[in-house]
Structure 1
Amino acid sequence: MDTTLIYSSPITIKLRPLLATSIRYSSSTVSMSKSPETGDDRRRKVVVCGGGVIGVCTAYFLAKSGAAVTVVEQSSVACAASGKAGGFLALDWCDGGPVSSLARASFNLHRSLSDELDGHSSYGYRPLTTLSVSIDESEIGPSGRVKNLPSWVNGPAQKSNSIGTVQTTAQVHPQLFTRCLMTTAVEKYGAEVVIGRLERVGFENERVDSVVLDGGRVINADSVVLALGPWSSKLALLSSLFRVYGLKAHSIVLQPKEPDAISPHALFLTYHPAQGGKPMDPEVYPRPTGEVYVCGMSSTEEVPDDPDQVTPNPESIRMLKQVAGNVSTHLKEGEAQVKAEQACFLPSTDDGIPVIGELRGMKGCFVATGHSCWGILNGPATGASLAELVMDGRARLVDLSPFSPSRFIAI
């Protein structure tokens, strides 16, 4: 049965129906662009494969630029890392490497998007102070003697340093951000969401012309963007060119009984377990929703075929709960409700650099993946730059040449 719904004007809808069906809106605000094949004045058809933050940001800026955008997602928008990440943003933490310009542009885009979309209330964008904190389980007593600590961090902390200010670090709720952007792209700019599994990309004369979904459905396209995250390794077209592997990261979401006691301080921990255990580096992010997100305990594992099959390791979750309780009495069992125990795969490349650009010899076929732990931060600039490349033939916001997929091809 065809689940496509067509509306003649923008309406307010609940998010769940948007993600469960393919919804198309018409909008008089969308401009026209010339087809790259014929030069005719019609909207360029772009299919974005992947409903995570990278795919959704790309779809948003493409649709805003006048393209007729269809997002293909296997499960639901922001169902994987983009819904389970911390949402931490940093202006200059990538300085000194090839990702620096991408990160700086994206940090600023996050701020402007929050104004444009009223994100302060809808998806929790806010600047915050970031601290490096050392905690040793073997120590007894509260951490009142340690300078710079907020009052709610009252476990056995040994030292604390400021590593980010409200000018250089911020946060979003990643799932709400991704879904807010997707809903805006649908309602305001006429994008479409299709739930289905990508089978292959279709080509004619070395130029992309379609995507084929599981079950045989064909969606015609002038351009295709493959933003598949760690599932890039499942598509032969990409796995034959470069390797993307998944780093499995665990997290819990806590709801303290006294959320007002938790100030907006992101914590990067050096955590020493009792009895000489190996030090760990978990992270703690209070959110404007009143929740507290705690993450860490990473491992390299095989990425399952279906995002819904990703499950956390019980021992990793147990350890994160222990960490939370030693950071703050507000986060101890009995003082905070556990709202989520989860895991996700961060898409990583062998050289640690994202892959963004057009595939050599495959005109109109673009890729954006491999952002690792910085996917939420770098989503907006990746999407905006890639949209420029797709629509205009060159990216102006950020030089994408360091991220070209051609770097993996031996010359």
Structure 2
Amino acid sequence: MKYKFGIILPIILISYFLILLDNSVVFTSTVQIASSLHMTSQSVAWITNIYALVFGSLLLLGGRLGDLYGRKPIFLTGLVIFTLFSLLVGLAPNGLFIIVMRAFQGIGSAILAPTSLALLLDTYEGKKREKAISFYGVTAGLGASVGLIIGGLVTTFYSWRLGFLINVPLGILLILLTIFFVPNTNSQVHSHLDYIGSILSVLAILSLVNAINGTGHKGLFIAIFVVLLVIFLFREVRIDNPIMPMAIFKDQERVSAYIARFFYIGSMFSFFFLVPQVLQKYYGFTPLLSAFGFMPETIPQFLFGMLQSKLSSKYKNENLLLFGTIVTLLGVLMLFGLDLKYGYTISVALPMIVIGIGQGFSFGPLTVSGVANTPKELGGATSSAVNVFHQLGSSILLSLVVTLTAGIANVITAYHYQTLLMSLLMLVPLLMAINIKRLHHK
């Protein structure tokens, strides 16, 4: 069955792709940025850290604003902020300037990520919605790996600045298309913003991300996070207009999908972060060559993601999700089991193909289950939850894997334990996928 989605779906997908692309472009541009702007290794790390801090801490607020004040004006606000500060990041004259501009860029991303998904939920229904979310899932999977390649290309053959400046013409185009083609809709929630809850949520997630990515006082920040989280949850269950309605956690399928996404993204982000280092340290790849070394994962992910979007109208979402998580786990187990001495093709590229197939089948169904049975008034809140668990999974579990293997000097031994941990993390999404299938067969 063919569906006509109109112009709104491309607007949503391109805006979401730009956010993900911009995050991973930095990974392969860091060395050139540091050299160009005369930054130390500590200060250049803040280009990534400040973006993660702001983006992660404002996601709940970004999603709720669309519920309260309408999707179109909030989506447009996010686009304008993201486009303007992408331009300023690309034109940055010094280190302090680029760090501050990346913080503001994070604000735009925190608005766009949940609002784009909520806009999708408002626009499409039934099987058409499931198929649209499948495309959204394909975009989510491709952003990180394509960003590595684009970052490697522009850094090697032109300048790191192009990786950010490319957002400007695309952002302007998206703003114009949104103005003319996205309809105005009334907000689904007739109440005011929960300002105290917003501040508490920002401070709580800010403390957590700083405990993960910061350079010191990690124990203190974790304690602050726990205290703020307890106060936040106590408040949210007692007021009429919470920034994070507890109703979003009443559906067992959504909760299972959030947990699955947290651990799935944690395992896959560890894969994206650690494997390029092994390619360079053990096989002697250049940064650009290591980015292209991900093609055996990127191409199958795209092809099988598109196949999954076609199969979504024929096969049940829970079956596709279970298949995708099983295949992904098999691919990670292959990384763990195949010794690096067999060479890149056997030890890395072959497992990458399997992981790419698994990702292609997993990202869309994970998102479908994450927003399952969502009433319109909770569209922004559930979309925020999907993005919050995505963001925190990538930060917390990557840090866990890196921390647990930091003391291992030998590259092969460290990689062996890292892939073992990634395999263990992937067991949780598999269990959650089994649970979602069980819920549909009650």
- Range of TM-score over shorter length: under 0.3
What is the TM-score when the length of structure 2 is the normalising length?
A: 0.25
Write 1 or 2 for the structure with the bigger share of strand: 1
Q: Which has the larger radius of gyration?
A: 1
Write 1 or 2 for the structure with the bigger share of helix: 2
What is the TM-score when the length of structure 1 is the normalising length?
A: 0.26
